[in-house]
Amino acid sequence: DAEITQSPRHKITETGRQVTLACHQTWNHNNMFWYRQDLGHGLRLIHYSYGVHDTNKGEVSDGYSVSRSNTEDLPLTLESAASSQTSVYFCASSEQNTYNEQFFGPGTRLTVL
């Protein structure tokens, strides 16, 4: 069965360290997204990609970067982790048609101390 996975599921790091969160999907979807979810806020878009070598900034992209070298993977990098980046991070993917539903990975809980 096709799926979308994220790793690690839990991560504790220190302020200033570089952290990379992995996202891998086997749906063969062109569109991939990274969100963060914090209490009292809706999901907020960090970065998104509509295909290989395409990346775009979302609403809250400062301090984050992504790269898309193949269809299956969209890793999210925190260049220098800050306590404000403590959050739950969700990766999602969807088919090329923008009206299609997004399928979400299980999430990564990141704590920055």
Query: Residues with Cβ < 8 Å from 39, sequence gap 6 or more?
Result: none
**How far is C-alpha 25 from the chain's CA centre?**
12
**Chosen residue from 19, 34, 68, 105 binding another protein by CB under 8 A:** 105
DSSP state of 105: -
Rg of the chain taking only CA atoms, in angstroms: 13
Nearer to another protein, 70 or 101 (CB): 101
Q: Among 54, 90, 47, which residue's Cα sits nearest to residue 69? A: 54
* Contact call for residue 1 and another protein (CB under 8 A): no
* Contact call for residue 107 and another protein (CB under 8 A): yes
Number of other CB atoms surrounding residue 88 within 10 Å: 14
**Chosen residue from 7, 11, 58, 72 binding another protein by CB under 8 A:** 58
Nearer to another protein, 37 or 71 (CB): 37
Q: Which stretch binds another protein (CB under 8 A): 13-21, 22-30, 77-85, 94-102?
A: 94-102
Report the interface residues with another protein, using CB under 8 A. 35, 40-45, 48, 58, 90, 98-99, 101-107
